[in-house]
Amino acid sequence: MPDLKMAETAAKPASAEVLSVSDLQAWYGESHILHGINFNVKAGEVVTLLGRNGAGKTTTLKSVMGIIGKRSGSIRFNGTDITRASSDRIARLGIAFCPEERGIFASLDVRENLLLPPVVRSGGLSLDQIFELFPNLKERLNSQGTKLSGGEQQMLAIARILRTGARFLMLDEPTEGLAPVIIQQIGHTIARLKSEGFTILLVEQNFRFASTVADRYYIVEHGKVIDGFANSELSANMDKLHTYLGV
């Protein structure tokens, strides 16, 4: 058995592309939002999509998740074409999504919110591991989901997708509107998840936060990926980045 396991590992090297997106186009009703997005995410990486408001970052995540009605191009996840798949099928393939608005359900208590996403495969975090990451949640289990503070809601939104066994996480602006101390805690969480082998696709406006966790960046503008570089090339690209983000 150990041999077999090694063979499997060898067949799927650490740099295997988990997600590859090419020429992704997407529409909201009549408006054409994405005009050809190209990027990829390799196993174990944290990749961040940067860009101004309205550039198409969130739409990109939603397209990968299958919740934008009209999309074309190609999205492959672990070799499977998911361009036209329904979002419930995509989720069951092992992609977990944490939306920008957090999506905590008001009619569910914290425990129900936490247990809502079904387990799609084994290997997810246990509740004990989740409470170790987010001790606050354990004390609030019986509260109504939306009675939590913004930071606690964000923790809950991340915590509930860690249970499912999905190894590929998409986090849409997890630090938006949160206090620095909470942002720091979320940063630690992402680093911890990365060290445990999760692959993470992050959308961020907060570039300083992104730079503490990301391996690579893609710049999205007007529905296209216009640039990309690794964290090690960051200082060389600082000027360009300021222009792109207008900061």
Partner 1 sequence: MQALYAQLLVGLINGSFYALLSLGLAVIFGMLNIINFAHGALYMMGAFCAYFLLNLTGIGYWWALIIAPVAVGIFGMILERTMLQWLAGLDHLYGLLLTFGIALIVQGVFQNYFGSSGLPYAIPDYPEIGGFRGLQGGMNLGFMFLPIYRGWVVVFSLVVCLATWFLIEKTRLGAYLRAATENPTLVRAFGINVPRMITLTYGLGVGLAALAGVLSAPINQVRPLMGADLIIVVFAVVVIGGMGSIMGSIITGFALGVIEGLTKYFYPEASNTVVFVLMVLVLLVKPTGLTGRAA
Give the binding site for partner 1 (CB under 8 A): 65-67, 86-88, 90-92, 96-97, 99, 103, 105-108, 112, 115-118, 120, 161, 164
* Closer by beta carbon to partner 1, 101 or else 132: 101
Query: Taking the complex as a whole, how short is the minimal distance between the CB of residue 146 and partner 1, in angstroms?
Result: 10
* Closer by beta carbon to partner 1, 28 or else 105: 105
Query: Taking the complex as a whole, how short is the minimal distance between the CB of residue 216 and partner 1, in angstroms?
Result: 25
Query: Taking the complex as a whole, how short is the minimal distance between the CB of residue 165 and partner 1, in angstroms?
Result: 10
Task: Give the pairing of strands 31-42 and 17-28.
Answer: antiparallel
**Of the candidates 51, 90, 70, 100, which has an alpha carbon nearest to the alpha carbon of residue 225?**
51
CB 136 within 8 A of CB 153: no
Query: Taking the complex as a whole, how short is the minimal distance between the CB of residue 102 and partner 1, in angstroms?
Result: 10
* Closer by beta carbon to partner 1, 87 or else 129: 87
Task: Give the pairing of strands 70-77 and 46-50.
Answer: unpaired
If DSSP codes are grouped into helix, strand and coil, which group holds residue 112? helix
* Closer by beta carbon to partner 1, 66 or else 174: 66
Task: Give the pairing of strands 46-50 and 199-203.
Answer: parallel
Residue 102 one-letter amino acid: R
CB 104 within 8 A of CB 145: yes
